Amino acid sequence: MQLQTKNFGEITVDENDIITFPAGIPGFEDLKRYTLLGKQETEALFFWLQSIDEPSLAFVVVDPFSINPGYFVDADDSEMEEIDIKNPEDVLTLAIVTVPENVKNTSVNLKAPVLINLKNNMGKQIVMKNETFPVKYYIMNG
The contact set with other proteins (CB under 8 A) reads 7-8, 25-28, 38, 41, 44-46, 48, 57-60, 67-70, 76-79, 81, 96-101, 103, 106, 109, 111-112, 125, 127, 129, 135-136, 139-142
Beta bridge partners of 108: 97, 137
Distance CA 89, CA 8 (A): 31
**Total Cβ atoms within 10 A of residue 60:** 18
Cβ closest to other proteins, residue 25 vs residue 85: 25
Find the shortest distance in angstroms from Cβ 42 to other proteins. 12
Cβ closest to other proteins, residue 8 vs residue 122: 8
CA dist 12 → 4, 21, 103 (Å)? 9, 20, 30
Nearest to 51 by CA among 18, 22, 93, 82: 18
Distance of CA 6 to the CA centre of its chain: 18
Find the shortest distance in angstroms from Cβ 26 to other proteins. 5
Find the shortest distance in angstroms from Cβ 23 to other proteins. 10
Cβ closest to other proteins, residue 91 vs residue 126: 126
Cβ closest to other proteins, residue 98 vs residue 120: 98
